[in-house]
Each structure stands twice: as C-alpha cells, then as structure tokens.
C-alpha cells in the first residue's frame, strides 16, 4: 500500500503496483524519490507524512513536512517561503545534536514547500503518560536532567524552540533517549487582511505563536525569548506529574498564574525550582536552561545551607571547618558555590553580632547616672513618647468594629488578618512584617512609613491607600488593587505586583523597576504589561 503525497487528494491510499494515484493522478513518488506510507497529521499549515526514501539503500523511513500557504496572495506566499527557509536553516544548524532530528532535504514542489527529516520511531511523552500514568518527582527530575542540556545546546545556537510540550518529545525506541521535534512552530494560518495591515516581521512572527497553555504571556504577545522555552518546559513538568493539560488546571484570574501546587506531592525545594520556571514575569523567571540546571545542582544542598546559615545561639559553639577550595578559584561547581554562600552568611552573622553588642553597650551606657544622655533611670516612660504595644489579631478586629481607627506605631507583625475589614485604618509607622492581609479591605488606609516587608497583601483592596515611605520589600501584592494609591518613596524591591492594579498610583519608574510585574499588571498609565 502506498500513500498519495498530494494533500488535496480525497482517496490517497493506493495499491503498491501503481505509479500514479488512482484518485487524483499525481505521481506517487514525489521527485522520483519519496514514496508515501501514511499521513502523520494535518493542521492549518499543511500535512506531515511518513515516507520512504527510495534512492537510499534499504529505503529508510523519513518524515516529510509540507507547508501550504492558505492563500494565493503573493505577499503571504513569500512570507511562508521565508518561514520555510528559516526552519530549514534552523534544522541544518542544530541537527548534529543526537536528540534533534536531522534535516535530510528541503525543496519547493508544485508551489508547496517540503522539509524532509529523520524519522524518530517511538512514543511521545503525552502517549507515555496516558498509558503509564503520571511521573513521580524523581521521574521528573530525571526528565529535566536529560532534556535541559539539549535545550541549553539549542539556545547556544541562538534558537528558540517555541513549542516545547509532551507531544513534541519522543522517547526513541532504539536507545530510549528523548528527542525534541517540530522546530517549525508554524501552526496558525496567516489572515491575509491582518497581514496587509502589519509589518512583515509581525506577520511572519504570527505564524509562530506556539501552543496555548504551554506558551508564556510574552510569547503569546509575539516576543519570545530563551526563557519562554523554560516556561514551556515547566508546564511540561506539571503535565508529567498530573496527567492534566494546562486547560484542565485552575488559573488565578488576576495574575494569570497556574495553580498547580495542590495537584502534586513534591518537596518544597523542588517546588521552588518549578515556581521560578513558571513565573509569568519573564524578568523573574530562569533566563536559560543552564540556569535551571544550576538550580537543580544546588537544590540538594539547600536544606543544609539553610541550617548552616542559622547563627549559633551559644557563645561556646565551635566554628564549622571551612570547605576547602583552591586559592583564587572561581565557583564553578555547586559545592564551591555552597561553600561561598555559607562563608558569606557567616561573615554577615559576625557583623550582626558585633552590631548587637555595640547596641547593647550603648543601651547600658544610657542607663548610667552620669551618661550625659539625660535619660530617666526610674523606669517611668519618657514624657511625650508613645508606648509601643503588641496587639493580637482579635484585639485589632474587635477594636476596629467598636470604632477604633488609630493603630499607628503598633507591633502587628505576623498577625493573621486575612480578609479583614480595615478600610481607613491608620497604621502609620506600624510594624506589619509578614502579616497576612490577603483579601483584606484596606481602602484609604494610612501605611505611611510602615514596615510591610514580606507581608501578604494578595488580592487586597489598597485603593487610595497612603503608602508613602512604606517598606514593601518582598511583599506579595499579586492581584492587589493599588489604584490611586500613594507609593511615593515606598521600597518596592522584590515586591510581587503581578496582576496588581496600579492605575493612577503615585509611583516612579525606578521604584517599579525593582518590583516583579507581568503582562497582567495594570500600570499607572492604565495599560497592561511589564514595566
């Protein structure tokens, strides 16, 4: 049985003894060389065939990819040709890698374009998961260790794949190695009218959107980067562990983040790696496959590193021996980087201890009768100085319900005030470090010069809030309403503003450049996107 390679043929199956198709009359041997076996798939760009190369000994199998423009418009035809040549050039450049199919031939035939590639026999990862079920954490780690070096090689060749997903990763039957296929990313038809109203660059790029759910926001906005492949690889990991495609998972409607954590049973350290691979903000994602590999190399040491960074409480604790390292060496391995991190933390701890000792001596000198400070020694409070107290969450909420609004200069750190109704509250100069205010109504509240470092303000209403001079370093403000808020001189270093609404807010460009934003962030001017 032979298969007609004319994609328009209605009855492509033919007996072996024919030279032309009985249905359409097309030669069954394309260019007197390639004999069709069957169709492998059909999409908006054309058809993929399995064929035999009749000019090589043994008639080996190959894959023929056809690109057929959806219009006779000369401009669209030229664009399709350029895309075709680009994929051929890409495959020619990276096809020497053992985990990438080799380009065997490419040509134009009857105004259609064809690529001939090495045939990889095996099952793709989507088929494997459907047959065998989800992978464990160990299985996904092994998957990453195999695929990341190959992806790193592709990136060093200045190639962005743009369509990494389980269906494009085939486990080769011969040696069980994973092979990455489909470097065309040519999956959507070009609308001739839309193309006429855009530049050639935009029209060409619109072919290569990628697969929704696997492609990150910047790629869907036609701005793919190397980190876009990292995101798609992260989504692939989630699929491998859950057997759920992206469309079957929940997403945060305000931030666009995939809500996958509750679906998998994995270690917290590995979860942190995946979180960073899947960060919707491209600036805060791993920038390359090499970065992910480095993180996985360091990840087994993270628990011991955290323990090593805890300053000993006893004064007689003996110092740990320094990890040996050749003089003047560069931190080229995970162990060396770990050693440097431990030493740096230990040095900082020594500095903090010295600072605390100095502060203790100053406080002692303040209490001496002749210290010259004019401080009282009777234990009575200093006149005019407000007493700072520690309130619990129940006291704050009960007091607010009874009409109290002034909570200035209070210690409210680490309290759970989730979804609290505190609109118009005065928290001027209060300490709210790591306080949980997720979903709270804080509209018009005064947080001037307050400490909100690492506070959880996700989905909180901070409309028209006064946050001038506030410390919001590392705060979680995903999906928060900050419209018309006053953020003058606020510290936004590492604050997560993904999906936050900053329309009309008073904030400077240099402040936002330190924060984390994404394509769902509403900027002060009212437009969405990265700062």
The string of pLDDT tens digits covering residues 54-95 is: 999 999 999 998 887 666 777 777 777 777 787 788 888 887
Q: Pick the catalytic residue: 105, 112, 152, 163?
A: 163
CB 277 within 8 A of CB 292: yes
pLDDT per residue as tens digits for the range 84-127: 787 788 888 887 889 999 989 988 888 788 999 999 999 999 99
CATH number for region 2-118: 3.30.200.20
pTM: 0.64
Query: Which of 4-8, 117-121, 137-141 is the least confident region?
Result: 4-8
Note the pLDDT of residue 15: 92
CA dist., res. 221 & res. 432, Å (int): 38
Q: Among this protein's residues, is 406 annotated catalytic?
A: no
3-state SS assignment for residue 49: strand
| Domain residue limits, the chain | 2-118, 123-301, 389-531
- How large a percentage of the chain has pLDDT more than 70? 76
The listed CATH number (1.10.510.10, 1.10.287.110, 3.90.1150.10, 1.10.150.20) that belongs to domain 123-301: 1.10.510.10
What CATH fold (topology level) applies to the domain 389-531?
A: Pectate Lyase C-like (2.160.20)
Beta-bridge partner residues of 14: 2
Residues 388-428: pLDDT tens digits? 557 999 999 999 999 899 999 999 999 999 999 999 999 99
pLDDT value, residue 91: 82
Q: Is the predicted pLDDT of residue 142 greater than 90, yes or no?
A: yes
Q: What share of the chain has pLDDT > 90, as a percent?
A: 58
- Asked if residues 135 and 143 have their Cβ atoms less than 8 Å apart, the reply is yes
Average pLDDT value for residue range 204-214: 66
The mean predicted confidence, pLDDT, of the chain is 81
CA distance 55 to 335: 54
Q: How far is CA 398 from the centre of its chain?
A: 41
**Length of the chain, in residues:** 531
Does the pLDDT at position 11 exceed 80? yes
Q: Is the pLDDT of residue 320 over 50?
A: no
Q: Which residue has the higher pLDDT, 135 or 343?
A: 135
* CB-based burial label for 530 (10 Å; 0-12, 13-18, 19+): middle
pLDDT at position 125:
97
Q: What pLDDT shows up at residue 110?
A: 81
57-95 as b/e: b if 16+ CB within 10 A: eeeeebbbbbbbbeeebeebeebbeebbebbbebbeebe
Retrieve residue 407's tokens.
């909570």
Q: What is the pLDDT of residue 307?
A: 53
* pLDDT-wise least confident of 14-23, 36-45, 151-160: 36-45
First to last CA, the chain: 59
Pick the residue with more confidence: 137 or 381?
137
pLDDT of residue 531: 58
């Amino acid at each position: 049985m032979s298969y007609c390679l004319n994609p328009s043929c209605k009855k492509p199956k033919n007996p072996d003894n024919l030279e032309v198709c009985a249905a359409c009359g097309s030669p069954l041997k394309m260019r007197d060389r390639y004999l069709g076996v069957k169709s492998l798939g059909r999409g908006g760009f054309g058809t993929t065939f399995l064929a035999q190369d009749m000019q090589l000994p043994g008639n080996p199998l190959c894959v023929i990819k056809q690109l057929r423009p959806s219009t006779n418009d000369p401009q669209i035809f030229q664009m399709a040709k350029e895309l075709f040549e680009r994929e051929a050039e890409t495959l020619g450049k990276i096809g020497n890698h053992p985990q990438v199919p080799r380009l065997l031939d490419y040509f134009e035939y009857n105004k259609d374009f064809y690529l001939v590639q090495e045939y990889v026999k095996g099952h793709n990862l989507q088929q494997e998961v459907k047959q065998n079920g989800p992978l464990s954490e160990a299985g996904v780690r092994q998957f990453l260790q195999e695929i990341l070096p190959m992806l790193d090689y592709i990136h060093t060749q200045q190639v962005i794949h743009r369509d990494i997903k389980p269906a494009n990763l085939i486990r080769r039957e011969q040696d069980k190695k994973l092979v990455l296929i489909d470097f065309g990313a040519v999956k959507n038809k070009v609308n001739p009218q839309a193309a006429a109203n855009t530049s050639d660059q935009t029209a060409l790029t619109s072919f290569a959107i990628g697969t929704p759910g696997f492609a990150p926001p910047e790629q869907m906005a036609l701005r793919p980067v190397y980190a876009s492949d990292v995101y798609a690889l992260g989504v692939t990991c989630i699929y491998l562990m859950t057997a759920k495609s992206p469309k079957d998972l929940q997403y945060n409607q305000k931030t666009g983040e995939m809500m996958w954590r509750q679906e998998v049973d994995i270690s917290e350290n590995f979860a942190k790696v995946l979180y960073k691979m899947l960060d919707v903000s491209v600036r805060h994602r791993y920038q390359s496959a090499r970065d992910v590999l480095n993180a996985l190399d360091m990840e087994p040491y993270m628990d011991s590193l955290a323990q090593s960074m805890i300053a000993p409480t006893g004064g007689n604790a003996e110092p740990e021996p320094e990890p040996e390292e050749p003089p003047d060496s560069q931190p080229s391995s995970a162990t060396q980087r770990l050693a440097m991190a431990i030493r740096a933390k230990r040095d900082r701890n020594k500095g903090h201890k010295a600072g605390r000792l100095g502060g203790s001596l100053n406080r002692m000198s303040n209490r001496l009768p002749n210290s010259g400070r004019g401080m009282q020694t009777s234990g009575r409070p200093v006149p005019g100085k407000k007493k700072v107290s520690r309130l619990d969450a129940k006291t704050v909420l009960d007091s607010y319900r009874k009409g109290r609004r002034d909570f200035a200069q209070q210690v409210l750190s680490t309290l759970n005030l989730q979804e609290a109704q505190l609109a118009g509250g005065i928290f001027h100069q209060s300490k709210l470090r790591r306080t949980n205010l997720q979903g709270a109504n804080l509209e018009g509240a005064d947080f001037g010069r307050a400490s909100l470092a690492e506070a959880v303000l996700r989905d909180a209403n901070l409309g028209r809030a006064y946050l001038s001079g506030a410390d919001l370093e590392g705060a979680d403000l995903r999906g928060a309403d900050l419209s018309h808020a006053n953020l003058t001189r606020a510290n936004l270093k590492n604050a997560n503003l993904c999906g936050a609404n900053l329309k009309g807010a008073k904030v400077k460009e240099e402040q936002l450049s330190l924060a984390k934003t994404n394509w769902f962030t509403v900027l002060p001017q009212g437009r969405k996107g990265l700062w």
